[in-house]
A and B are shown apart, each in its own frame.
Chain A
Amino acid sequence: MSKEEKKLNPEDNWRNFIYNPLTSEVLGRTAESWGEYGAGRRLGQTLSDETPKYQDLIASPGLSIIPKPMNALEIFVNISEKTSYEHYVTALGHFLKKYEDSMQEKNIECESGIFFEQKSRSKLACKFSLKILQVCSGLNDSSYGFDEGSPCVILKMNRIIGLKPEGNPSIQCHVKEERVNLVTFPDAGKIDLMYFPYYGKKAHKNYLQPLVALKVNFQPGSEEASIECKVEGSPNLKNQDERDKFLGRIAFKVTLAH
């Protein structure tokens, strides 16, 4: 506080600092200014619109899935009863809507494999084509595989401003049950570095984060899949945190019924 005051009145003597009769300033501020201070206006002044002051609490991104199950992390699908999974399909469609080509007209094709760093004030976004997700893109199968009992789940890494993953990050999933196989799109769950860094909601308006789709194929007779996905291949993306079970990893279950 006192640092601030001195900055404001570096040449005033002490007496004037406490109360300046010419400008009616008390402790270097006018009554109005104090009022603003009190009302927390100063908060707005010191904060940047583009990036928060600190990011130490989100040094590493979390991992989440779409659709988000209602409670616990358990996706239940009954093929013979459409209502049991309809909302998942809707959620996926809703989420992927902003990835449709028509929504990405302003986005550009970027050079794969390297960070897309920008200096200009308004940042451009790299295009993420739904085609990358192949059968899970919803382009051909509007039920995202739910109808035939091999549902798609979309995985995404949380957005963090300025995050630059080291190495070659990818999302790797494993299932406990032997009679279930997983297929990821793009291949090997690769996450392209060109989508980093993120510059924040205001500057990076059309930014779309890269996605990885996971198709869960149940072999006949199998009904349950306990899946764990992790962000791998990048030393600065944590996936082992003791307390945060969603930091660079996620565990969920898919149950199928006929």
Chain B
Amino acid sequence: MDQEKSEICNIKVNGTNFEKVDNEMAKKDDSKEKKKLSKRTLKKEHQKELKKDLDLNDHKISTKELEEKYGTSIIQGLTSTRAAEVLARDGLNVLTPFKDTPKIIKFFKQMVGGFSSLLWAGAILCFIAYVIEFSKDNSVSMDNLYLGVVLIIVVILTGMFAYYQEAKSTNIIASFSKMIPRKALVIRDGEKREIPAEELVVGDIVEIKGGDQIPADIRILDSQGCKVDNSSLTGESEPQTRSCHFTHENPLETKNIGFYSTTCLEGTATGIVINTGDRTIIGRIASLASSVGQEKTPIAIEIEHFVHIVAGVAVSIGIVFFIIAICMKYRVLDAVVFLIGIILANVPEGLVAAVTVSLSLTAKRMAKKNCLVKNLEAVETLGSTSIICSDKTGTLTQNRMTVAHLWFDNQIYRADTSEDQKAQSFDQSSATWASLFNIVTLCNRAEFGAGQENVSIMKKIVIGDASETALLKFSGIITDDVIGKRKRNPKVAEIPFNSVNKFQLSIHETDDPNDKRFLLVMKGAPERILEKCSTIMINGQEQPLDESAREAFQTAYMELGGLGERVLGFCHLYLPEDEFPDTYSFDIETMNFPTSDLCFVGLISLIDPPRSTVPDAVIKCRSAGIKVIMVTGDHPITAKAIARSVGIISANSETVEDIAKRLKIPVEQVNKREAKAAVVSGMELKEMSPEQLDELLKNHSEIVFARTSPQQKLIIVEGCQRQDAIVAVTGDGVNDSPALKKANIGIAMGFAGSDAAKNAADMVLLDDNFSSIVTGIEEGRLIFDNMKKIIAFTLTKNIAELCPFLIFIIAGVPLPIGTIAILFIDLGTDVIPSIALAYEKAESDIMNRKPRHKKKDRLVNHQLALYSYLQIGILQSVGGFFAYFTVYAVQGFRPERLLYLRPFWEDNTFNDLEDSYGQEWTKYQRKYLEWTGYTAYFVAVMVQQIADVIIRKTRINSIFQQGLFRNKYIWVGIASQIIIAVILSCGLGSITALNFTTLRIQYWFVAVPYAIIIWLYDEFRKLLVRQYPGSWWDNNMYY
């Protein structure tokens, strides 16, 4: 395979050469850039680490210098004493575990963040209230004490629940420690020994072989066909050769360094340890990741905003009524108690649990769709995503080379590149194809792994490199019997790929019994193959390779190359029987056979094809207003081709270069605004100032960043975040972890991803598939909508809980509802219905609207607050009071009698209080009536909350459009409301502390008309919102 790899190598080398120049030029800029970085949120360590990256020069110096530097000998290794000294100095060769917040801190964080702090404040106020009341009168009711205790229990339980949810998802992610190899073969005191890898020190001489993990950063001293998989570092899974040659200025690019935690795939190598533990490249990147500050999640910001609203309402109403109470000549102590009560009635105790549960339900649903969420809040973050910076390899593409096009008989044929191809449908009748197929099958060293007879071809494991695998599978699809064909055409000689020849050649006996000639087959870089040919096969006939044939070749080669595909040329030659009889002994050293004047047969181009679901997903993103940016380490041409094929660059948009080419003018003259798309290479990006990058991100809707380095990914993310975008970043390598951390939502790949990336990410894509992100976004958007509904539902009854207090203060009536009953609404009847709202289906296609604007589309806007508080909330309070007055009236206290009755009503020594009918009541009899009032009010609120949960199913559509029965959980919720209320009223009515009494059956229905009014009113609201979009009504009544 190797020829074409060399082809790519060439390009790479070119690229890196440029970079080298850049490096030098950029060094001056570097200091400037660093200053700018520090101005931003990046910490000092960040810069230091970046700098250290540049400092490494062990790959440049000679082995002699290395020996001196580390006080070692390449033959003898370190002495044990020296090794012990260095070990004492540098410490063990292990990575400091990922600086995770200690569990206990995490737990406490859960318990003080957001609502919890409000609840703590509430609990403390309760205790204060109790102490104040107790100091006044030690026979005071324990309500406030209970309430305080219950609030604390609520905080702790919800905190534990949220912690448990998070811990559960975090634990799935394997830790860093897994990456550390256990043993290392080292030369010390002149002899080989196996020691634990953590005892390695700089200067140690280690030997590695295929299958080993490299135990530290090593400078290669000697290598026999050593290839490493650097995917844990770079994310690119293409094996890379390691040799003792210094090939690149950049330590990450040079071939003579092997990195800690990468895997040696084949061959053997000896190296000298140059860095251990946290000083290794991977160690530095890991610590860089932990030093990058993470932004607050959007939902955390929204909830904070919401807490502010609730707290604002609570405190302002509290203070207003405190003043009113003082003016009404209540004692200051009483006024303080009222203030506390008002603030408490405003705290939505159950909301924390409801929000946590609905987020984790969504997280569960997303996990089923292959999005594993580590941080619950990330569920919603995904929904507000406005830019996705996606990797190419493995995420947008299938991460395997596949035959994409064929060129023979002067014609380009298209091959099927889908994931589950069964047959190739292009025209296979030509004799040229037969010859080409022969070469493809025979000139190939890849083999199927053993024991896979029943596995479909596409899923079989193949031993061999990516291109050869692609060709083997390709032939496997055309014929079932590749192996048989190879057996029937035994190989007699072979020259594997090498960088000098840039071709691969083999000589076979043929399976044609009448033809005793040997067949020489060859494949390689197209121009090298063409050089060796003098004829070309057209329709099975050999024809001289004239100018027109060359031109046709050139056109085809350019066209396929322009598609970003890796192109291979194929040729063959039947060796004349007289010169090469079957006894002829081929010698590959002396090349005693012709390698020129061959017959050119065709071209095959390979590509890592896009996943078949990706183009649809990209279209979905586009209609959802999400910008998809491709960030890849690949060559710009390949990147652009894939971007086009998946729709990241849409069919009709052009880059500046495209326009220049079309208009035949220099690139500089093109108006950059005209180009919708842009392909930017890492080199160009390096020269950009942050302002230029901002401009680029603003002006182009379709952007591809190619040949970027890990640090640049971070810069791109920061650039996007400066546009006020919520950025999702995918990544798999260790080098991606800083960007993953910095992104609003970091998405690591489940298969290809390194543990470091998974650690830094907020979410793990179990199938590595870009389209799973899109389903995730859909869920995230849905949960945002549903959370609005949950909050609207929850806030409504706050007013119904608050009004009793206000009327109690102003009109001096007996208290309509007690704090315990309020708690039973907040934490009892309302919990399941509010969670059930999380199951509500979307009202319209949520993927057809723009992502929400961070600052404009709030979770809780004033429309939501006003509609819930002042409209439905007030209606509910009226219903509650109606029930309250009814229950008092039927027992003898008519509403007018209740006014300003409070001082007598609550007087413990007043045991003959007269009602409206002249009857006299003892204190306890009144108390019991008061509890009946609580129960009636409680039931009335519960009944109206049933209507509330039904109306909250939709925000704009009619309930009938949404379907009353589609979300069956709503009915579970409603049933739970009724059952809890019945249990409280009937079963637990006898427990004094709960202050519930058994209510006559007819008083359960007092609030039903109000519930119906609430429902009709909301239908009317929705009707007008639908009918008059953009009207005053729409602007003020749609939340």
Show the binding face of A for B, using Cβ within 8 Å. 1, 37-38, 40, 43, 47, 50-55, 57-58, 61-64, 68-69, 71-73, 156, 158-161, 198, 200-202, 204, 207, 241, 243-247, 250
Interface string of B895-924 (1 = CB under 8 A from A): 100000000000001111011111111111
A244 contacts which chain B residues (CB < 8 A)?
A: 922-925
Ordered nearest first, which 7 A-B pairs have the shortest CB separation?
A: A201-B918, A62-B922, A158-B920, A244-B924, A52-B892, A53-B890, A246-B911
Tell me whether chain A's interface is mostly helix, strand or loop, or mixed.
loop
Whether A201 pairs with B886 at a CB distance below 8 angstroms is no
A198 contacts which chain B residues (CB < 8 A)?
A: 918-919
Whether A54 pairs with B919 at a CB distance below 8 angstroms is no
Whether A247 pairs with B919 at a CB distance below 8 angstroms is no
Whether B919 pairs with A158 at a CB distance below 8 angstroms is yes
A246 contacts which chain B residues (CB < 8 A)?
A: 911, 922-924
Partner of B909, one of A1, A54, A55, A72: A72
Whether B889 pairs with A57 at a CB distance below 8 angstroms is no
Chain B residue at minimal CB-CB distance from A163: B919
Chain B residue at minimal CB-CB distance from A243: B924
Whether A43 pairs with B885 at a CB distance below 8 angstroms is yes
Chain A residue at minimal CB-CB distance from B1005: A1
The docked-state distance in angstroms from the alpha carbon of A71 to that of B1010 is 44
Q: A1-B1009, A38-B1009, A43-B885 are in contact. Are A202 and B925 (CB under 8 A)?
A: no
Show the binding face of B for A, using Cβ within 8 Å. 878, 882, 885-886, 889-892, 894-895, 909-912, 914-925, 928-929, 932, 992, 1000, 1005, 1008-1010, 1013
Return 21 A-B CB contacts under 8 Å, by A number.
A37-B1009, A38-B1010, A43-B895, A47-B890, A52-B917, A54-B890, A57-B925, A58-B892, A62-B912, A62-B921, A64-B920, A158-B921, A158-B922, A160-B919, A161-B917, A198-B918, A201-B917, A202-B918, A204-B918, A207-B918, A244-B924
Give the shortest distance, in Å, between B998 (CB) and chain A (any CB): 10
The docked-state distance in angstroms from the alpha carbon of A207 to that of B1000 is 32
Whether A247 pairs with B918 at a CB distance below 8 angstroms is no
A207 contacts which chain B residues (CB < 8 A)?
A: 918
Whether A64 pairs with B918 at a CB distance below 8 angstroms is no
Q: A43-B889, A52-B889, A160-B920 are in contact. List 17 more A-B contacts (CB 8 A).
A: A38-B878, A40-B895, A47-B889, A47-B894, A52-B917, A53-B890, A53-B891, A54-B891, A55-B892, A57-B932, A58-B925, A62-B921, A64-B920, A69-B909, A158-B920, A241-B924, A246-B924
B894 contacts which chain A residues (CB < 8 A)?
A: 47
Whether A245 pairs with B924 at a CB distance below 8 angstroms is yes
A69 contacts which chain B residues (CB < 8 A)?
A: 909
The docked-state distance in angstroms from the alpha carbon of A37 to that of B929 is 24
Q: A64-B912, A159-B918, A202-B917 are in contact. Are A247 and B891 (CB under 8 A)?
A: no
Give the shortest distance, in Å, between B369 (CB) and chain A (any CB): 45
Chain B residue at minimal CB-CB distance from A50: B917
Partner of A243, one of B910, B920, B992: B992
Whether A43 pairs with B886 at a CB distance below 8 angstroms is yes
Give the shortest distance, in Å, between B886 (CB) and chain A (any CB): 6
Whether B924 pairs with A247 at a CB distance below 8 angstroms is yes
B1000 contacts which chain A residues (CB < 8 A)?
A: 54
Partner of B890, one of A1, A52, A62: A52
Whether A1 pairs with B920 at a CB distance below 8 angstroms is no
The docked-state distance in angstroms from the alpha carbon of A38 to that of B895 is 15
Whether A57 pairs with B885 at a CB distance below 8 angstroms is no
Whether B922 pairs with A52 at a CB distance below 8 angstroms is no
Whether B909 pairs with A71 at a CB distance below 8 angstroms is yes
Partner of A62, one of B886, B911, B917: B911
Whether A161 pairs with B918 at a CB distance below 8 angstroms is yes
Whether B928 pairs with A57 at a CB distance below 8 angstroms is yes
B923 contacts which chain A residues (CB < 8 A)?
A: 244, 246
Q: A52-B891, A64-B911, A73-B909 are in contact. Are A247 and B922 (CB under 8 A)?
A: yes
A63 contacts which chain B residues (CB < 8 A)?
A: 911
The docked-state distance in angstroms from the alpha carbon of A195 to that of B215 is 105
The docked-state distance in angstroms from the alpha carbon of A71 to that of B909 is 7
Give the shortest distance, in Å, between B883 (CB) and chain A (any CB): 10
The docked-state distance in angstroms from the alpha carbon of A204 to that of B1013 is 42
B912 contacts which chain A residues (CB < 8 A)?
A: 62, 64, 156, 158
The docked-state distance in angstroms from the alpha carbon of A247 to that of B926 is 12
Give the shortest distance, in Å, between B595 (CB) and chain A (any CB): 95
B920 contacts which chain A residues (CB < 8 A)?
A: 61-62, 64, 158-160
Chain B residue at minimal CB-CB distance from A59: B925
The docked-state distance in angstroms from the alpha carbon of A202 to that of B1009 is 32
B914 contacts which chain A residues (CB < 8 A)?
A: 159
Chain B residue at minimal CB-CB distance from A52: B892
Interface centre among B932, B1005, B1009 (most CB of A within 10 A): B1009
Whether A57 pairs with B882 at a CB distance below 8 angstroms is no
B892 contacts which chain A residues (CB < 8 A)?
A: 52, 55, 58
A68 contacts which chain B residues (CB < 8 A)?
A: 909-910
The docked-state distance in angstroms from the alpha carbon of A202 to that of B892 is 13
Give the shortest distance, in Å, between B750 (CB) and chain A (any CB): 57
B915 contacts which chain A residues (CB < 8 A)?
A: 52
Whether A40 pairs with B922 at a CB distance below 8 angstroms is no
The docked-state distance in angstroms from the alpha carbon of A204 to that of B919 is 12
